[in-house]
Amino acid sequence: MLPKLQAEEQLAAISAASIGGGHVKPADSRRAIRDLERAANGGRRRAMKATPDILAAMGIAVIKQQEGGDER
């Protein structure tokens, strides 16, 4: 596992040097920086709409109500 981590760190250093040295197209540089900022901020993604199956898997009770509204 250590060689893999070292390789990842070396690739990150090479990328940083390439971007910082101006050896990368501006669009590619902006994309790389945006991706790094997104990862540094926790990699936020859009939330999925919860389905009854997802809620049930999370332990949230799902009660299906018949159409026609409230029966109070």
pLDDT per residue as tens digits for the range 61-70: 988 888 876 6
Identify the band that residue 44 occupies on the pLDDT scale cut at 50, 70 and 90.
Answer: low
Q: What spatial distance separates the first Cα and last Cα of the chain, rounded to whole Å?
A: 62
The overall average pLDDT reported for the chain is 82
Mean pLDDT within 14-29: 86
Backbone region of residue 23 per phi and psi (left: phi > 0; alpha: psi in -120 to 50; beta: other values) = alpha
Stronger pLDDT, 40 or 70, i.e. the higher one: 40
Q: What is the mean pLDDT of residues 19-36?
A: 86
- At residue 64, the pLDDT reads 82
